[in-house]
A and B are shown apart, each in its own frame.
Chain A
Amino acid sequence: MSSDFYTTFILPYSGIIIKICRAYTNTQEDFEDYYQEVCLQIWRSHDSFQEKSEWSTWVYRISLNVCLTLLKQKKKHHFVSDSLPDEAIEYSRSFPDESLNQLYQAIRQLSDVDRAVIMLYLEEKSYQEIAEIIGTNPNNIGVRIKRIKERLKKLLDGKVN
Chain B
Amino acid sequence: MEKSIETIWKEGFLKNDALVAPKLNNLYSQKSIDIVDKFRRMYKINRVGILAFAFIILPVSFIVKIPYMGISMFFLFTVLGIIAQKFSRDLDKLDKTQNSYQYLLSFDNWVKEMASTNTKLSRFLYPYVFITVVAGFWFGSIGGDIPGNKFVNFILLKYPDTYLIFGFPLILIIAALTIISLLAYFGGQIGDFDLKLGYGRILKKLDGLLADMDELKA
Same complex origin of A and B:
yes
Which residues does A use to contact B, with CB under 8 Å? 1-2, 6, 11, 14-15, 17-19, 31-33, 35-36, 39-40, 44, 95-97, 99-100, 102-103, 118, 122, 149, 152-153, 156
Q: Is the CB of B22 within 8 A of A103?
A: no
Residues 190 to 212 of chain B near chain A (Cβ within 8 Å): 212
10 further contact pairs, Cβ within 8 A, besides A14-B21, A36-B22, A97-B18 = A1-B216, A6-B24, A14-B19, A15-B13, A31-B22, A95-B15, A96-B17, A99-B12, A152-B5, A153-B5
B156 CB to closest chain A CB (Å) equals 59
Binary interface encoding of chain B residues 164-202 relative to chain A, with 1 for a CB under 8 A from any of its CBs, else 0: 000000000000000000000000000000000000000
Chain A residue numbers with a CB within 8 Å of B17 are 96
Of A19, A44, A102, the residue contacting B19 (CB under 8 A) is A19
Binary interface encoding of chain B residues 11-48 relative to chain A, with 1 for a CB under 8 A from any of its CBs, else 0: 11101011111101001001000000000000000000
A-B pairs with beta carbons under 8 Å apart, 22 shown: A1-B216, A14-B19, A14-B21, A15-B19, A19-B19, A31-B22, A32-B22, A33-B30, A35-B21, A35-B22, A36-B27, A95-B18, A97-B11, A99-B8, A100-B9, A100-B11, A100-B13, A100-B18, A103-B5, A103-B12, A149-B5, A156-B5
- Bound state CA distance, A145 and B212, in angstroms? 39
**Nearest-CB residue, chain B, relative to A99:** B8
**Nearest-CB residue, chain B, relative to A15:** B19
Say yes or no: is B6 at the interface (Cβ < 8 Å to chain A).
yes
- Bound state CA distance, A18 and B13, in angstroms? 11
Which residues does B use to contact A, with CB under 8 Å? 3, 5-6, 8-9, 11-13, 15, 17-22, 24, 27, 30, 212, 216
- Bound state CA distance, A8 and B91, in angstroms? 40
- Bound state CA distance, A156 and B131, in angstroms? 72
Q: Is the CB of A95 within 8 A of B5?
A: no
Q: Is the CB of B9 within 8 A of A122?
A: yes
Q: Do A97 and B22 contact each other (CB < 8 Å), given the known contacts A1-B216, A103-B5, A152-B5?
A: no
Chain A residue numbers with a CB within 8 Å of B3 are 99
Chain A residue numbers with a CB within 8 Å of B15 are 95-97
- Bound state CA distance, A156 and B3, in angstroms? 11
**Nearest-CB residue, chain B, relative to A44:** B212
Chain B residue numbers with a CB within 8 Å of A35 are 21-22
**Nearest-CB residue, chain A, relative to B14:** A97
**Nearest-CB residue, chain A, relative to B218:** A2
- Bound state CA distance, A2 and B24, in angstroms? 11
Chain A residue numbers with a CB within 8 Å of B8 are 97, 99-100, 102-103
- Bound state CA distance, A19 and B8, in angstroms? 14
- Bound state CA distance, A18 and B24, in angstroms? 13
Chain A residue numbers with a CB within 8 Å of B11 are 97, 99-100
**Nearest-CB residue, chain A, relative to B9:** A122
A99 CB to closest chain B CB (Å) equals 5
**Nearest-CB residue, chain A, relative to B27:** A36
- Bound state CA distance, A95 and B19, in angstroms? 8
